[in-house]
Structures are given as C-alpha cells and as structure tokens.
Structure 1
Amino acid sequence: MAVTAHDVAGSLPDIATLRERCRALAVLEAILSPEEESRYYSFTRSWSDDEEMASMDNGSGDAWSIVFSPAGAFLRGFDHESPMSPAVNDEELWPGLVDTVPEVFSAAVNEPAFSYEGTLEATVCLWRRVDDDQWHTGDIDFPDGADPDGADRLFSVLLDSTGLAYHGFAEDYYGKAINFDAVREIFALAPLTANMVRRLKADRSTAALLADLSYIGYPAQLT
C-alpha cells in the first residue's frame, strides 16, 4: 500500500510537539557530528526575525525544511528520485502540490534557499496554521509506487515520538553503538548534561557544544 503526504499529514504531531522533536534531532546531530556540514538534521531558532527552521539534508539530493512562524508551520520535502520531482517534469511542480497553500506561507513556498533555478525543490508539501486542528496537503493524483512522493522515507523519523527511529538511523549512519537511554532523554527535552554527552561517546568541546545549543535553543547543564 502506498504511503504519501496524505498519510504523513494524518500522523504528524501538533506544531509545538513537532518543533520540540526537530530540536531534539538537531541536538543529537550536534553531539554526534562535530562538523556542521556533515549533520543530517539541523535547527535554527533565528531563521528570520520571527521564524525558526528545521531541516534535513542527506547530502545525496534528498532534503526537507520546516519553517515555524507566527502563522503556523510549512513543510516541504524533496525526494530526488521521486517521479514527482521537478527535475523529471520539465522543471514544473507536480499538479496540486502547492496550489492550495495559504497565502500566509507564500514566503516559504518562494524561499530561494528551498529552490533550484527558481523552482521549489519539493515532492511533498504540508502546512498547518496555528488555529488548525490538523495538517493539510494538496489535492494530488499520485503516481504509482509504494512511496511515490518520498514522504515515507523522508519523514519516518519525525513520526516517531520515542527516539527509536532516530536511534536506528544513527547507529547505521555513524557505524557505532549509541546509547538509547541518552537519545530517549533528549527526545524528552531533558536539559543536556555532561553525563548524557559522555554516554553518547561524543568528542565535542563544551564551548563548541554550548554554541550549537544556543543556536538551536536547547537547555543545557554542562557547566
């Protein structure tokens, strides 16, 4: 059975919970990956004067971005192998993908950082205004395939509240055993301590890690 953005829209948590989950992912990556450019997941609390942004970049052409703003949240995902990619559709977005995105999210839809040669890099778009009771996506006729828009592969980690999905990803990506209890504590937004960092066997200086945590906006008790 195909999994699409419609399924993800029904499974994502509310905006506040999703924001916290994105911050946890960014903190774990900051601990495990000293080099910022090598990190899968990132978060900045100062994307603009009144916006925050979470992102994923696998370094192989797949990415997602979530802009958290006073209006709500806008999410775009890009699976470079999807038949819905603009790269295989004359540089055009898939019909219905952004046609019904509310005007309050137009800046995110037109954000140059999410575009390639003027076209939004997206095979998935979701949005939720602050007063909505659910996430929304466009009225889309999906192509055949088990994961036609890449939504399943791109967002499986975000749909898991326990940290297990990230833990499995990280052990595979970093090629080492990773302490799940420490992952779980960060997913619960426990203030980061030196003991948690030690359990994750991270080679990070306290000063550098505190700078990352300030950028993310995550509490710490490292000193």
Structure 2
Amino acid sequence: MTVHDVARRLPEITALREHCRSMAVLEAVLSPEWESRHHSFDDYWSETESMASMRSGSGDEYSIVFSAAGAYVRGFDHESPMSPYAEDGPFPGVLDEVPEVFRPYVEEPTFSDEDAMPIVTACMWRETADDRWKAGTIDFPDAATEDPDGAGYLFRLLVDRSPEAFQRWAEDYYEVPVDLEAVRHVFSSRPLTEELVRALNPRIVLADLSEDIAEIGYPTS
C-alpha cells in the first residue's frame, strides 16, 4: 500500500477530524501520561488550525493539520527507502505538487529537522472544495517493499476506522483489555461519561482528564 492507496480510502475531512479526535481521547483515558500515547489531538494548535498527530515511539510519526483551507497530511517512516535522509532530501514527487495554500506546512519547523529539511516519506492533502484526497506523482522505488513510503503502516488506523481495529491495536500496544462498547461510544462522538471512563480505565475519573479533554475539544456529558 502506498500513499495513493491510502488517499483513496480516507473519508472526507470532517469525518477524518472526528476519527482522529476520538482516537486521541481514547488514549487519554487509557494512558494518563501523555508521553506514552500514540495518538494526540490539539484543537488549538494555532488560532485557526487544529492538529492530529501520531508518534510510534521508534521514530515514525504523522501530522494532520486541519484548517479553513482543508487538511494537510504528512507522514514519516524512518525505515522507508524514501526517507529524506537516504535521498539527501524529500523523495522526488512527494512534496512537489503540494498546493500553494499548504506550502507553509511543507516548511513548518515542527515538521522539519534542525537543518530545515522536511521529515516526510508520505504526503496527502485535500482542499475544502476538493472531492477527494490527493498526493503527488511518484515513481516509487523498484526494489522497495509493498509499503515503500510507509503509508500502509503509518495510516492503518485511518484506513481501517472500525472500533474493532482500534481495540486490537490498543490491546496490543497497552497490553490491557479494552472495552469494545466504550470504543464504539467514542467513535460515535458521544460525550464522555464517568461510566465510560471507568470501563476503559478504573484507575482514573472523568475530572482527571479535564485538561486533555479541553485540548482535544471532545464533548463531555
């Protein structure tokens, strides 16, 4: 799977935003310590932008910026043969066709290394008027694996957005049982309740999550 396959499977912008927000709040409940979380969501990344992010803990990551212009997605797989460190710069085609409205994100320091080189192996975007997600024209490496840019691995929970997929991933990552009905509740964007929090993590209460919930922008009862 490449970035082109992922782009065909992503939902429209609002649905993707809500899905990212739901994963972030589930992890806030499962892992009160922010440093241990895989998925995060900052509804106030700037005055006009929100950002969803993923950090694998081993150097892989993605960021999705949501703005009035649409959404910009950047992913980085550190083992990809398309790594900018293997190519001494972003792989040809990955960033070349990014629209002008999203060019500031290509140069965003948060998404670059200390030498201002964009840290990216996969990139997608969708303007508000677009009817689909787009990615650049890329001649993928002939000798690469089935996932040359890491998109299949990085965005797997954005492609399979089922509660069951998240439950399987979370149980493997956190090594604890994860209540499927609670995941379904959150994936439906229904408000958090004390009962739901206890079902996912009996060691905390809803009030413990007040700062996280405010940052994520998720509703509570």
| Corresponding residue number in structure 1 for 2:60 | 62
CA distance in structure 2 between the aligned counterparts of 1:18 and 1:207, rounded to whole angstroms: 27
**Aligned sequence identity (%):** 53
Using the alignment, how far apart are the partners of 2:78 and 2:28 within structure 1? 25
Measured after TM superposition, the shift of residue 50 of structure 1 is 0.4
Note if contact 1:86-1:93 (Cα within 8 Å) is conserved in structure 2.
yes
Q: For 1:204 and 1:78, how far apart are their aligned partners in 2? A: 33
Gaps of 5+ in 2: none
Residue 184 of structure 2 aligns to a residue whose secondary structure is: helix
Report what 1:182 is aligned to: 182
Shift of 1:202: 4.3
SS of equivalent residue, structure 2 residue 35: helix
Equivalences for residues 52-131 of structure 1 within 5 A: 52-90=50-88, 92-116=89-113, 117-131=115-129
- Identify the residue that residue 49 of structure 1 maps to in structure 2: 47
When the two structures are aligned, how many residues end up with a matched partner? 218
- Using the size of structure 2 for normalisation, the TM-score is 0.96
**Structure 1 vs Structure 2 CA RMSD:** 1.0
- The Cα offsets for residues 24-83 of structure 1, whole Å up to 9 and x where unpaired, read as 010011000111111100001111110000000011100000000100000000000000
Give the letter for the 2:79 counterpart: E
Is the CA contact (8 Å cut-off) linking 1:32 and 1:202 kept in structure 2? no
Partner of 1:38: 36
Q: Give the TM-score normalised by the residue count of structure 1.
A: 0.95
From the superposition, tell whether residues 129 and 172 of structure 1 become closer, same or farther in structure 2 (CA, over 3 Å): same
CA distance in 1, matches of 2:202, 2:150: 31
Opposite residue 136 of structure 1, the aligned amino acid is K
Measure how far apart 1:205 and its partner are: 4.1
Q: Which runs of 5+ in 1 are unaligned?
A: none
Q: Which residue is equivalent to 2:210? A: 210
CA distance in structure 1 between the partners assigned to 2:193 and 2:70 by the alignment: 31
The answer (yes or no) to whether the contact 1:34–1:203 under 8 Å persists in 2 is no
1:156 counterpart residue number: 156
State the shift of 1:162 in Å: 2.0
Q: Aligned letter for 1:106?
A: R
Structure that is richer in strand per residue: 1
Higher deviation after alignment, 203-212 or 102-111: 203-212
CA distance in 2, matches of 1:47, 1:63: 17
